[in-house]
Amino acid sequence: MENQFPRGSRNESRIKKRLLEIELDFCEICNYKPPSFMRTNGNDPLHLHHIKPYKLGGSDSLINRIYLCPNCHSIADYLARLSDVYHKRPDLFN
Ligand SMILES: [Zn+2]
């Protein structure tokens, strides 16, 4: 089974710990790096986005994730929804 870990499980915190170990603490699209005070008490303003959507069988592992700021995460989600509509109703884009 591709999804070894349920969403929001300890895997999520393991991935974030690993990202910090490799000093990936910024948005992978716009390079925004949240100030350290925003990352206290377990808070993390950056989001782990699934490159291949989880609901389409995308893995929860690091290889299928990208670390994004909230703005880039919104854009990525929007583009994924737009792509989904395009594949279901290409006639809408003619
Ligand atoms: Zn960003």
pLDDT in single tens digits along all 94 residues of the chain: 334 444 555 677 888 888 878 888 999 999 999 998 998 887 889 999 999 888 888 888 888 999 999 999 999 999 988 988 998 999 988 8
CATH topology of domain 10-93: His-Me finger endonuclease fold (3.40.1800)
- Residue 39: predicted pLDDT: 84
Residue ranges near ligand 1 (ion) with Cβ within 5 Å: 27, 29-30, 32, 69, 72
Of 55, 46, 41, 42, the closest CA to residue 7 belongs to 55
Note if the pTM is more than 0.85. Answer: no
What CA–CA distance (Å, rounded) separates 52 from 38? 28
Cα 86 to ligand 1 centre (Å) = 24
Q: Provide the pLDDT for residue 9.
A: 59
Residue 63 Cα to ligand 1 midpoint, Å, equals 19
Model pLDDT, residue 79 = 92
Measured in angstroms, how far is the CA atom of residue 47 from the centroid of ligand 1? Answer: 10
CA of 1 to the centre of ligand 1 (A): 31
